[in-house]
Amino acid sequence: MSKVWFITGTSTGFGRQLVEQLLRAGDKVVATARRLETIEDFKQLAPDRVHLAALDVTNKEQIQAAVQEAVEVFGRIDIVVNNAGYGLFGMLEEYTDEQIRKQFDVNVFGVLDVIRATLPVFKTQGYGHYVNFSSFFGTWSMPPYSIYAASKFAVEGFSEAFAREFAIFGIKTTIVEPSVYATDFFGHSMDHTEKLEEYTPLYKGYEEGLSNIKIGDPAKAVELIISIVKSDNPPLRLPVGSQAAYTIREAYTKRIDEVDAWMKRSGEAD
């Protein structure tokens, strides 16, 4: 039986790949984007199985309208993919108040508002599946991604909690944690600060490290994500790509080692 997917941020990157692969597989998709002209070509792939909806995740009225359209067109929503988001690049001191608030408005509050708008649909149905895009930066952080990582840490935190809250209603939750892929993340989906000269050594170190990073194929990543989401027992967290898996494992290992090193002293506070 085909599934009905509600996906945010489908004009580029993982979102676009998701729509294209799902339509080829015979599923139905509510594809959303801030500007409809960027996703009109989806209609050529499967005009009867795709519905386009204008949606800026910072606009609650648009979210509610898109969800209502989805139910009116397809009768239900099986899977909600919170993919819309962008990156903020810079050192903490360089960020403006506006940049920090925008990062959280899109990456955190936008996700929460989509979840709150679709939850009544899932509860009425007695089933559903939230797929929330985090990042391997949702488990560790480094310059120059402190605020971006903070937004993804937030997604990880509330997703882990509501996974248990919503499970009693038959609702599943999966947090997707990709590493670096050939999407538009480093293009117009990235906002930059004005660099301060004193951070030049850190930027140089970052650029040197970036040259050694393996850039993954988003088509392969999306193929994996779809197969896992459609499986009988999808995980709460899904690292996507070997770099994500190794990096997350290393980060957790270092954290456990530090806890072990300080466990005795920590106990002195009992």
Question: Using one digit for the tens of pLDDT, what is the confidence trace for 121-178?
Answer: 999 999 999 999 999 999 999 999 999 999 999 999 999 999 999 999 999 999 999 9
| DSSP bridge partners of 206 | none
Cα–Cα distance for residue pair 46/51, rounded to 1 Å: 10
The answer for 72, left when phi > 0, alpha when psi is -120 to 50, beta otherwise, is alpha
Q: What is the enclosing helix (H) or strand (E) of 221?
A: helix 218-229
Contact 114, 63 (CB under 8 A): yes
- Centre a 10 Å sphere on the Cβ of residue 229 and count the other Cβ atoms it contains: 20
Q: pLDDT digits over 186-200, tens only?
A: 566 678 999 999 999
Fold classification of 4-243 is Rossmann fold (3.40.50)
Three-state helix/strand/coil letters over 146-204:
HHHHHHHHHHHHHHHHHHHHHHCCCEEEEEEEECCECCCCCCCCEEECCCCHHHHHHHH
Which pLDDT band holds residue 208 (cuts at 50, 70, 90)?
Answer: confident
| This prediction's pTM | 0.95
Location of structure tokens 């690292």? 239
What is the pLDDT, as a whole number, of residue 182?
76
CA angle, corner 1, sides to 11 and 174, nearest 5?
55
Which sequence spans correspond to the domains of the chain? 4-243
Q: Cβ atoms within 10 A of the Cβ of 211, count?
A: 7
Predicted confidence (pLDDT) per residue in 70-109, tens digit: 999 999 999 999 999 999 999 999 999 999 999 999 999 9
Nearest to 204 by CA among 86, 91, 94: 91
Pick the closest to residue 107 from 174, 158, 70, 161 (CA basis).
Answer: 158
H helices present in 13-134, as ranges: 13-24, 42-45, 60-74, 97-104, 110-125
- CA dist., res. 92 & res. 139, Å (int): 18
Q: What percent of the chain has pLDDT over 70?
A: 98
Q: What percent of the chain has pLDDT over 90?
A: 91
> Which sequence positions are flagged as catalytic?
134, 148, 152
Question: How many Cβ atoms are within 10 Å of 65's Cβ, its own excluded?
Answer: 15
